[in-house]
Amino acid sequence: MSLDEPVEDFLHSIKEKAYSCASIVAGENFVTLVHPFWSFDEIMKARKIQAEWEVSSELIPFYGNWHTLICISHLTGEVQLLDDCRNTLHVWESAEDFLSCLTAIPEREDTSPTESGIIESETWFDF
């Protein structure tokens, strides 16, 4: 498949551009990035198996674990966050919009390390 130059350029550069990013802003939410972005070679290899994972041929996955994915549409240039059922959780209008939402800030920056959420009286941990 031949890719438009902007989409191909984006796919060649995403791994490097997003290397130090810990999360992405998706509307009102932060999405933690727990996997590295795929290299261009990995992206092209993934194209061969994406039908098995029920990912539309319009989309090119470039991040995820095949359950949750981030893909770019080679038709519109939109970037989409998909869940395991292939529902669209968020859409960025363009690759540039997506890149502007990458952040090095952890998902829950406001939570101090001492706020674990564990209720001491209801756990078997020895505090």
Of 74, 67, 72, the residue nearest 5 (C-alpha): 74
**What would the mean pLDDT of 29-57 be, rounded to a whole number?**
94
Is 15 part of any domain?
yes
Q: How many domains does the chain have?
A: 1
Of 25, 20, 36, the residue nearest 81 (C-alpha): 25
Give tens-digit pLDDT for 67-77: 999 999 999 99
Whether the predicted pLDDT of 56 surpasses 60: yes
State how far the Cα of 110 lies from the Cα of 106, in Å rounded to an integer: 9
Is 10 part of any domain?
yes
Specify which residues 71 forms β-bridges with: 61, 80
Is 43 part of any domain?
yes
Cα end-to-end span (Å), the chain: 58
Domain that holds residue 23: 5-105
Is 11 part of any domain?
yes
State how far the Cα of 26 lies from the Cα of 14, in Å rounded to an integer: 17
Is 18 part of any domain?
yes
Q: pTM value? A: 0.80
Is 83 part of any domain?
yes
pLDDT given at position 119 = 58
5-9, 49-53, 106-110: segment of lowest average pLDDT: 106-110
Is 79 part of any domain?
yes
Whether the predicted pLDDT of 109 surpasses 50: no
**What would the mean pLDDT of 7-16 be, rounded to a whole number?**
95
- Count, residues in the chain: 127
Output 57-65 pairs: Cβ under 8 A, ≥24 positions apart: 60/3, 60/7, 60/11, 62/11, 62/14, 62/37, 62/38, 63/14, 63/18, 63/33, 63/35, 63/37, 63/38, 64/35, 65/35
- What rounded mean pLDDT belongs to the chain? 87
Q: Which residue has the higher pLDDT, 123 or 52?
A: 52
Is 116 part of any domain?
no
Q: Which residue has the higher pLDDT, 79 or 35?
A: 79
At which residue do the structure tokens 């991040």 appear? Answer: 63
